Amino acid sequence: MKEDIQNFPKQLRFSPKLENEERWGTFQNYVLLGMGGSHLQGDVFRAISPDFPLSLHKNYGLPRRTEKEKTGFIAASYSGNTEEVLDAYGKALEEGLSVAVISKGGELLRDAKERGLPYIELPEDKIEPRMAIGYSYKSLLCLLKAEKEVGEAENAVEELQKKESEMEEEAKEITRFLEKKIPIVYASERNCALAAMWKINFNETAKIPSFYNVLPELNHNEMAGFDKTESTKGLSEKMRFLFLKDEEDHPRNRKRMDVLKEIWKEKGFQTTELQVGGSSRTERVFANILLSEWTAYFLAKLYGVNYENSELIEKFKERIK
C-alpha cells in the first residue's frame, strides 16, 4: 500500500481512451451511477467543481427526478460486478438512455463492449478501488469533457510528489494523536467529500470506526450530543476531532470552526487542525486525500491489521447472494 500511495499522483497523468466515442454526446446533466470506491471520483469532482451539473446515484434503479432525455448516465464499477450499479445500468438500457461505462472488467465492461457502448477501461493495476481515484477521476473528466479540470489535474502531479515526505511526517503526527481513539472529522459542506474520504480510509484501511459531519449543519444538531454530563461523558471519551481548515471556505464557516474548536477544548476534547492548501483547487483536494491515505496506512501498521481486505464486507456479500 505504501507504494500505491507513493505512485498515486502519477494516476493524474493517466490518459483515458473513450471507445465508441461517437455514441457519447454533450449533455445538460450527468448522473454518475456508482457505489463505494467507484463513486469517489464523482465526490471529488463535485468538491472541485461544485457548479457542474453532475449528480451521484448510489442505489439500485435510477434517480426519479431527472430529465432523462437531456442526461448522460455514467455507470462506474471498478470491478465491473457491483450489484447496484449493474441494476441501474440495466434500467438505463431498458429506457433507451445514453449510457457510458467506466470499469476495469467484469460483467459491466463485458456487456458494454458487446453492445458497442461508450466505455473507458481502467488500468489493470492491482489496487483497491479507493486507491484508484486518480484513474477513475481522469476517466470521469474525459466523459464530462471537463478540459479545465484535466489541465489542473496534470499540473498538480509535480507539486503532490514534492510534498510526499512532508505528508508522511504529518501523517505520523496525526497517527500519534489518534492512537487508540475514534476519529471524528469535521469540514465545511464544500469539503464534505474530503471529510468522507478520511472516514472511508480510516474504515477500510485502518479497520477502525470513524465518523464525519459538516459545518454549519452540525452546529444545529450534532453539537448537542456532546453536552457532557456525569452520566454521559464516558460515551465520548475515546473521540478525537480533526478539523479540515480551508481558507477558501465562507468566512462565517471559518469562524464557526474556530469557535467550535474553542468550545471543544473547554469541554476537554482533544482537537487538531489540518490545513487544506495548494496552488489550485485540484491540488488542495488531492493533497488532503493523500494525507488521509498516509494517516490510515500508518494507523493500519500501528494496529497490525490487514488493510487490503474486509472480512465483514466479504461475509456480507456472500450472505446476500
Task: Please name each of the domains of the chain with its CATH number.
Answer: 2-156 (3.40.50.10490), 163-303 (3.40.50.10490)
Rg, Å, the chain Cα set: 20
Average pLDDT over every residue of 251-259: 97
Is 42 in contact with 54 (CB distance < 8 Å)? yes
Between the ranges 6-15, 125-134, 307-316, where is the mean pLDDT highest? 6-15
Regarding predicted confidence, which is higher, 70 or 312?
70
Q: Which residues of 148-173 are buried (b: 16+ CB within 10 A; e: fewer)?
A: ebbebbeebbebbeebeeebbebbee
Q: What pLDDT, in 10s, does the model give residues 273-289?
A: 999 988 899 999 999 99
Average pLDDT over every residue of 104-112: 97
Global pTM exceeds 0.85: yes
pLDDT at 228 over 80: no
Regarding predicted confidence, which is higher, 285 or 38?
285
pLDDT score, position 66: 66
Helices (H), the chain: 2-7, 40-48, 83-94, 106-115, 133-144, 147-162, 164-178, 192-204, 251-266, 281-303, 311-319
- How confident is the prediction for the chain on average, in pLDDT? 93
pLDDT score, position 285: 96
Average pLDDT over every residue of 109-122: 98
Is 56 in contact with 39 (CB distance < 8 Å)? yes
Percent pLDDT > 70 in the chain is 99
* Location of C-alpha cell 471498478: 78
Average pLDDT over every residue of 33-56: 93
pLDDT score, position 130: 84
Average pLDDT over every residue of 86-108: 96
pLDDT at 299 over 70: yes
pLDDT score, position 55: 95
Cα separation, 97 vs 190, whole angstroms: 31
Q: What pLDDT, in 10s, does the model give residues 174-206?
A: 999 999 999 999 999 999 999 999 999 999 999
Average pLDDT over every residue of 71-95: 96
pLDDT at 144 over 80: yes
Is 53 in contact with 26 (CB distance < 8 Å)? no
